Structure 1
Amino acid sequence: MMSIFQERMQTSKVDSLINTGAAIQYALDNLLDMEKGMRDERVPKVILIVTDSNPSDDATAAAKVAQKMGYHLYVYAFERDGVVFDDQLFLDITDDPNHIFKFDENFQTFSDAWWSELALHFCKDPCVHVLHNHR
């Protein structure tokens, strides 16, 4: 997975539009339902935003809609080409500073451990899903 991600990062253009809000809304409208594999209410609902730039559109509005629907949003921001991330915007999107992860452009701070960190944020034993509240 890491090699695929690095390849995508190398081919994307820094000055291109980053429609994060539209992507969140698309996921809510088209991907996140029971017919497409969404789990029942016992399993936390998560949207991961993986980006190498700040959103070009109104991601905060779409994020608030997702949060009202019970989704937890996370931002995984990969620095490259001198992009300065808007930390307040990422906080507005996630509504939780512990849901924002930044990685340097050499991927030195990125490893398979981030999957474990995400899973452990939800459950002590990520293999066992039980009814519980995350708020």
Structure 2
Amino acid sequence: MTEQTERTDPQAITDDEWRRRLTPEEYRVLRQAATEPPFTGEYVDTDSVGSYQCRACGAELFTSDTKFGSHCGWPSFYTPLAEDRVHYIRDTTMGMERVEVRCAQCNSHLGHVFTGEGYDTPTDERYCINSISLRLVPATSEDRAADA
């Protein structure tokens, strides 16, 4: 993604501007709701401590504290940072009913959320999120010391 030099309301960005700001693959996933191939994303197996931001607008969405190994091929989280950080859309594509997860700030596609799969997590939810929809911001040593 190209660096954003000025702050713009993400909801006001035109489709042409999104095409300029994002790589073709980022645009395909974030703005056209495509899915990256399983087990190919940079954050599938990452266990780094930090926060995950929307790659399109920089909104903080998830933390490494809620990331878990679901072995599904995409990064999985059991809850967003806060419910107002994401919104949900009924998705009936691909011959099934799913719940799409989008960034509440810029309306970019992140992935889907599934419930009742039996994972040993506090919410029994799996936010199955495309790596390309996220950017990991590693925690600093000061952040880790404050959490201790």
Structure-2-length-normalised TM-score: 0.25
Structure-1-length-normalised TM-score: 0.26
Higher relative strand content: 2
Higher relative helix content: 1
